[in-house]
Every structure is written in C-alpha cells, then in structure tokens.
Amino acid sequence: MLPLIVHAVETGAPEPAVPLAVPEPVRHAAELIDTLLAPAVLGRYQDDMDEFRGEAHRILDELGGDETYLSVMRNLVDESSRMLLRADLAREVTVG
C-alpha cells in the first residue's frame, strides 16, 4: 500500500491547471491538494486500500485462532483502511 502522494505521482495524476513550478507557496499547496484529491487518484487509491483490506483479512483467516481476537483484528484492519478522503474536500480545505 502506497501513501496517497506516492500513489498520485506513480499512477499519473491529472496535470494541474497551473504548473507546480509557480513560486507561490499557497498556490503550490492548493495545486497539491487538488491533485491528491482528484477523483481519478482517489479512485485508484481506494482500489489499493480495498486490496490491502482483503489481503489482511485473508491473512487473518489463514492464521486462525480465537474468534474473539480475530474479530478485534478484523475490526482494526477495517478501521485503519477506511477511506476518509473525498474529492469534495478540496473545496473545504483552506490553505495559507
């Protein structure tokens, strides 16, 4: 599983409307937020998170053990892999 920023860079995030080379820190931050929260990037990231969650559940099933503990572990996996980002956050985030 890749951090979101690495995922965006490696999977070809859409080109920003203004090049990131613009020498204004606020514009850089706003462009970065727009890039990271682009629906295409978030969709691919969600797919990776779903794959991670499924793999973690399969490993827990293979390991077996007391169902009480397995249930707790499954819940931890589910909580840690929830998608908390959404594309509409870009409009809600204030930079500067």
32 close to 4: Cβ distance less than 8 angstroms: no
pLDDT value at 19 more than 80: no
pLDDT of residue 5: 65
Rounded to the nearest 10 degrees, how much is the dihedral formed by the CA atoms of 63, 69, 72, 78?
Answer: 0
Question: Region 41-58: what's the mean pLDDT?
Answer: 92
* Residue range 26-43, pLDDT digits in tens: 667 777 888 888 888 888
Report residue 71's pLDDT band, with 50, 70 and 90 as the boundaries: very high
